[in-house]
Amino acid sequence: MQVLVDADACPVVVKDILFRAARRTKVCVTLVANQYLRTPPSPFIKALQVPAGFDAADNRIVELVEPGDLVVTADIPLAAAALDKAAYVLDPRGNWFSRENIQEYLTMRDVMDQLRGSGVATGGPTAYAPSDSKAFAAQLDRFLARRGPAPGGV
């Protein structure tokens, strides 16, 4: 089991939580990004830089993910692709994507895209808060402690 991180937009605090978890649990954490990422020295932490380009990091994560792996991302299409490969998917706010809820997320994303395309100001996500990092850390700890329930069924 490995943890693959969509690292381009991942909050620094989440990366720090993942680094500590990797050292503590000896689970491999791989950050995938279009840019160079500095990581602490550890045999359990890797950074993988992909070429610049639309969805290049997402595509590489989909190539690497195996059943039972954990993917950390807020990207809904990437979450859907990872679920299709029987991975677990956790967003940086501590919310699980699952086979049961991914279609709702995809539909909402499409609706918001259509609204923005027609000129409606939809706003963006709320600012990342300390409660979000606490929720993420709690969910990650629970997952790593039991290595997760059945894929896609969190």
Whether residue 110 is contained in a domain is answered as no
Based on its alpha-carbon atoms, the radius of gyration of the chain, rounded to whole angstroms, reads 15
Whether residue 153 is contained in a domain is answered as no
Q: What span, in angstroms and rounded, lies between the C-alpha atoms of 66 and 88? A: 10
pTM: 0.85
CATH number at residue 44: 3.40.50.720
Amino acid 104: pLDDT: 83
Task: Reply yes or no on whether the pLDDT at 153 is more than 60.
Answer: no
> 148 is written with which tokens?
């997760």
Whether residue 119 is contained in a domain is answered as no
> 33 is written with which tokens?
């990004």
Please give the DSSP secondary-structure letter assigned to residue 8: S
Please give the DSSP secondary-structure letter assigned to residue 2: E
Whether residue 65 is contained in a domain is answered as yes
User: Which pairs with CB-CB distance under 8 Å and at least 24 residues apart come from 22-26?
Assistant: 25/144
pLDDT band at 119 (very low <50, low <70, confident <90, very high): confident
Characterize the bridge pairing of strands 96-97 and 88-90: antiparallel
pLDDT band at 151 (very low <50, low <70, confident <90, very high): very low
How many domains is the chain built from?
A: 1
How do residues 23-55 score in pLDDT, each as one tens digit? 999 999 999 999 999 999 999 999 999 998 888
Whether residue 43 is contained in a domain is answered as yes
* Domain coverage including residue 9: 2-98+128-146
Whether residue 120 is contained in a domain is answered as no
What type of residue sits at position 72?
V
Residues 6+ apart with CB under 8 A from 119: none
Whether residue 115 is contained in a domain is answered as no
Task: Reply yes or no on whether the pLDDT at 118 is more than 90.
Answer: no
Whether residue 107 is contained in a domain is answered as no
